[in-house]
Amino acid sequence: MTTPRLIDFREQATPVEAPFDPARLVAGAPRATVDNRYSDPSQQFHCGIWASTPGTWRVSYSEHEFCHLLEGRVRLTGDDGHSVEFRAGDAFVVPAGFSGTWETIEAARKYYSLYERSA
């Protein structure tokens, strides 16, 4: 059995554009990039670096996501009206089933880890 290679987030980033679904946009013209650093063999667990310019869009999570905000400021507002703002240095979890809006208030960059249960 081969020992898996460690994933080093200090290595040079290679982000790709991550376009928004125009039907989900609420405000602004945000642009996003993603640099997925790791996906497990089952394709259920992923982690990497995501960045976005300001804007607001609808979200509906089928996966659980851990976020560590490295730069910027974001606000998540649930369909129930509950709103939380996060700043650089903050960490949070968006559980599967959350729906509402994601607003990037100031250009943001985060580490993410996603887990999606198999169908």
- CATH number (domain holding residue 88): 2.60.120.10
Within a domain: 19 = no
Q: Which amino acid is at 32?
A: A
Within a domain: 4 = no
pLDDT of residue 119: 66
Within a domain: 5 = no
For residue 63, what are the domain limits? 24-112
Within a domain: 118 = no
Within a domain: 67 = yes
DSSP at 79 = T
Altogether, the residues listed in the chain come to a count of 119
Distance CA 25, CA 46 (A): 24
- Tokens, residue 101: 């809006």
List Cβ neighbours of 108 (8 Å cut-off, separation of 6 or more). Answer: 51, 52, 69, 71, 72, 73, 74
Within a domain: 88 = yes
pLDDT of residue 90: 98
Within a domain: 9 = no
pTM, entire model: 0.93
Count the domains in the chain.
1
Within a domain: 2 = no
Distances (CA, A) of 62 to 8, 89, 96: 27, 25, 5
The pLDDT tens digits for 17-67 are 999 999 999 999 999 999 999 999 999 999 999 999 999 999 999 999 999
